[in-house]
């Protein structure tokens, strides 16, 4: 796994002089790239016949339109993001040692913040590995190589991960729309060690969550919501809690651990709710916990008809606006969620609304949420705006890295 890679493949660790050269068009924003923007779009690069023939994941030297070197990039002629900046040093060699340097820096940050090795270890561009996500679950890491260059360099990446962290099991998760946009397959794999035989328990915010690392959503758990779970839990002592799009019980189990009177978790996935139930049982919270499977919009409507009322209602849906073409429809969906959820909140109760949509910025999401609350005949004040936890750092130059928004209203 640690053997040198041949310079005849796109996954080379070849000297920079042996690499192809790609060049920006005059209209490209070279200044933004020099100041840290990590992507080159297809309409910003000279795409002659030679460039179009490069294999996805090929390493190349990037030059501006005046032929001045800008750094080392990976190229995927089949992607709208045709080049990703890997290193500002054109002489850099992308090998196991290079990966180790990035992972050491990322691990040092997480080790300062967390007492136990359960966190997002690598958060793509913000940790210097564009398109790469790695979540850690004790002695197991789940890798999502969402860009062609990372797929091509899985061997040295995996070797570096083991060398730095000491984990014994590394799994590849190939789910997600981003891989399809890069022309990659959706085949999961075991890269080192073995896959767990059952769900992995994860302790966060006083609760126990069961993460399915091989068949669950994403890598098995959503670490990004950890601080928002904690904030909602701080408002839930003695409360009746409704957790919609609950997955494995993120908000509801944290609320119960903080002393909530009861919690109802709603999700469309029966396996996810089974994991949530298992987490409640593992933490001794099952007597105050219930689940309800069904379409969230339908369940919210049914609960209203049943006259149900809750002190804290949290809605954490999937990305309704994952890309620009879906923005308007996505904002309407967020508004509808707010409109259906608000009537279920008791007077002076809490409504938490979340969005993980890249295309919908905070302002747009807030407007849609407030409009939905108003159309439900309610009014409220915004108590808190939450974002992803610090193990999901943002790259300031890349707005997409700040994808998660959570709004907490008192109605």
Report pLDDT digits (tens) over 259-277. Answer: 999 999 999 999 999 999 9
Q: Is 315 a catalytic residue?
A: no
96-192 classified as CATH 3.30.750.80? yes
**What class does CATH assign to 200-410?**
alpha beta
Q: Confidence band (pLDDT; 50, 70, 90) for 401?
A: confident
Q: Confidence band (pLDDT; 50, 70, 90) for 219?
A: confident
Please give the pLDDT value at position 36. Answer: 95
pLDDT over 90 at 316, yes or no: yes
Q: Which of 141, 315, 354, 356 is catalytic?
A: 356
Please give the pLDDT value at position 22. Answer: 97
pLDDT over 70 at 29, yes or no: yes
pLDDT in tens, 123-173: 999 999 999 999 999 999 999 999 999 999 999 999 999 999 999 999 999
Q: Confidence band (pLDDT; 50, 70, 90) for 107?
A: very high
pLDDT over 70 at 7, yes or no: no
pTM as predicted: 0.93
Please give the pLDDT value at position 15. Answer: 47
Measured from the Cβ of residue 376, the count of other Cβ atoms closer than 10 Å reads 19
pLDDT over 50 at 299, yes or no: yes
Q: Confidence band (pLDDT; 50, 70, 90) for 215?
A: confident
Which secondary-structure segment (H or E) carries 352? Answer: strand 345-355
Q: Confidence band (pLDDT; 50, 70, 90) for 197?
A: very high
Listed in order, the ranges of the chain carrying CATH 3.30.750.80 are 96-192
Please give the pLDDT value at position 389. Answer: 96
pLDDT over 80 at 39, yes or no: yes
Considering the domain delimited by 16-87, tell me its CATH architecture. Roll (2.30)
Listed in order, the ranges of the chain carrying CATH 3.40.50.150 are 200-410
């Amino acid at each position: 796994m640690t053997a040198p890679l041949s310079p005849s493949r796109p996954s080379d660790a070849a000297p920079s002089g042996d690499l192809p050269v790609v060049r920006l068009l005059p209209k490209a924003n070279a200044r933004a790239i020099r100041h840290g923007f990590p992507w080159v779009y297809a309409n910003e690069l000279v795409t002659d016949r030679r460039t179009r023939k490069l294999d996805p994941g090929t390493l190349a030297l990037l030059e501006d339109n005046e032929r001045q070197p800008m750094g080392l990039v990976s190229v995927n002629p089949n992607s709208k993001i045709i080049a990703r900046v890997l290193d500002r040093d054109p002489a850099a060699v992308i090998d196991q040692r290079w990966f180790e340097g990035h992972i050491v820096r990322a691990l040092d940050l997480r080790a300062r913040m967390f007492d136990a090795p359960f966190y997002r270890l690598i958060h793509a561009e913000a940790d210097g590995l564009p398109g790469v996500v790695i979540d850690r679950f004790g002695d197991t890491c789940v890798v999502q190589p969402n860009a062609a260059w990372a797929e091509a360099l899985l061997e040295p990446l995996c070797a570096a991960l083991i060398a730095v962290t000491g984990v014994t099991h590394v799994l590849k998760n190939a789910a997600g729309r981003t891989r399809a946009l890069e022309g990659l397959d959706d085949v999961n794999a075991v890269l080192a060690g073995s896959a767990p035989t059952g769900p992995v328990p994860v302790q966060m915010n006083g609760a126990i969550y069961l993460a399915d690392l091989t068949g669950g959503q994403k890598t098995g758990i959503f670490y990004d919501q950890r601080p928002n779970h904690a904030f909602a839990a701080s408002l839930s002592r003695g409360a009746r809690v409704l957790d919609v799009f609950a997955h494995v019980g993120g908000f509801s189990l944290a609320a119960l651990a903080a002393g909530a009177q009861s919690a109802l978790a709603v999700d469309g996935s029966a396996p996810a709710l089974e994991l949530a139930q298992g987490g409640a049982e593992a933490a001794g919270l099952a007597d105050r916990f219930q689940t309800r499977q069904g379409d969230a919009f339908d369940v919210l409507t049914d609960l209203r008809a049943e006259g149900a009322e809750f002190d804290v209602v949290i809605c954490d849906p999937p990305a309704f606006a994952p890309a620009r073409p879906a923005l308007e429809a996505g904002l309407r969906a967020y508004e509808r969620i707010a409109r259906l959820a608000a009537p279920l909140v008791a007077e002076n109760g809490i409504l938490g609304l979340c969005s993980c949509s890249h295309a919908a910025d905070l302002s747009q999401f807030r407007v849609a949420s407030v409009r939905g609350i108003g159309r439900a005949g309610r009014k409220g004040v915004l108590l808190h705006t939450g974002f992803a936890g610090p193990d999901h750092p943002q790259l300031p130059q890349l707005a997409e890295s700040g994808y998660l928004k959570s709004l907490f209203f008192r109605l």
